Amino acid sequence: MKPVSLYVHIPFCKLRCSYCTFYHVPHSREYEHPLVEALVAELECAARDISEPFVAPTVFVGGGTPSTLSSASLGRIFDTIAPYLCGTSEITVEVNPEDVTVELAAYLGRLGVNRISLGVQSMNECALRSLKRCKAAVNRRAMELVRNRFDNFSVDLLLGIPGSIPGDIEATVGMVLAYDPEHLSVYCLESGGDMEREASDFLAQVDTESSADEYFLVCRMLAEHGYHHYEVSNFARPGRESRHNHMYWNGGDYLGIGPGAHSQLDGRRFHNESSIESYLQNAGGLGMRRPDRRDDGQKELEEFMLALRTSRGLPLERLACPPEVPVELVDQGLAVRIGDRLVLTDRGYLVLNDILFRLIRAA
């Protein structure tokens, strides 16, 4: 059967975090039932639109905040997904720490969820207030409950939080590692792009130099604790890398369900409008799909970027630039040569875009 991963976008949040640039709407019971029924209808309709029977090797339910949904809503979504799963499917749900209870963890396990992504972000009280996140004690309780129920969970952390002082991130990582997560996603806050004013004002305060220092510190700490730095922002115990992430970076097929979700099928790229109102009006239809148009140059640039952001790197034979260019990157400590591949170092990861355009210009 054709492998097609699934991504389900739940746009609900109880409140907007200071740094958030993703599409979301305030959670309400009034919206919840219609949204869930629209998600179910879209998946059923999209599944019929795929040219052949498929199986989902990975499923990721993200947002937004999927854990704001009721048990009945979560059950309805997973009942619809179930026919496309196999015995080895990796099934991840994003969860906010304040939503974690013994009952929720047990219920997600019964639904077949085998991987939790927990949005901890920080363990520093001042940073958490700045981010509009829950208290550190809530994070600790959530990690303990998830650790007791799941043998595969990931923690999200943020770097460059305005107002942070040296030592904050080291303390945060130390406290998180006490719960021995299999995976960590570590993101550097940065400004730029189209975003709401609150997020723009908050992110404008990020000190990129301090953020870079924190990044190098985290890379070093996690390496010392046996984590594999397998992608710019992702670290895992050996064999516990996110299969869903790998699917994206390797150019696999995926079907995105929900407002704002993106898809790639048989070389076609498209996305849904980021509007819950439009989504509900089109419930079950494919009318809100919008094509993503890329020329050959953009496709090649994306392929290079996806390869260079992982620890597998880029085959040297793909580079049309003079041979001295990758040699210069190695000499500058931005890359290493492993066999016939160019692999970026931690320093190189931080200037990935600069390296990418340098390679393209030289070609």
Domain 2-249 matching CATH 3.80.30.20: the answer reads: yes
Taking Cα atoms as reference points, which of 204, 223, 17 lies closest to residue 120? 17
pLDDT tens column, 22-48: 777 888 888 899 999 999 999 998 888
Structure confidence at residue 234 (pLDDT): 98
pLDDT of residue 287: 60
H or E element in which residue 115 lies: strand 115-121
- What pLDDT, on the 0 to 100 scale, is given for residue 198? 60
pLDDT tens, residue by residue, 302-357: 888 999 999 999 999 988 888 899 999 999 999 999 999 999 999 999 999 999 98
pLDDT of the residue at 83? 96
Residue by residue, DSSP assigns 241-297 as: S-HHHHHHHTT--EEEESTT-EEEETTEEEEE-S-HHHHHHTTT-STTEEE----HH
Is the confidence at residue 223, as pLDDT, over 70? yes
Which pLDDT value is given to residue 91? 98
Reported as a single tens digit per residue, the pLDDT across 151-201 is 999 999 999 998 888 799 999 999 999 999 999 999 998 765 555 556 667
CA 262 to chain centre: 13
Percent of the chain with pLDDT over 90: 68
Helix (H, G, I), strand (E, B) or coil at 280: helix
pTM for this predicted structure: 0.93
Q: Where are the domains of the chain?
A: 2-249, 296-362
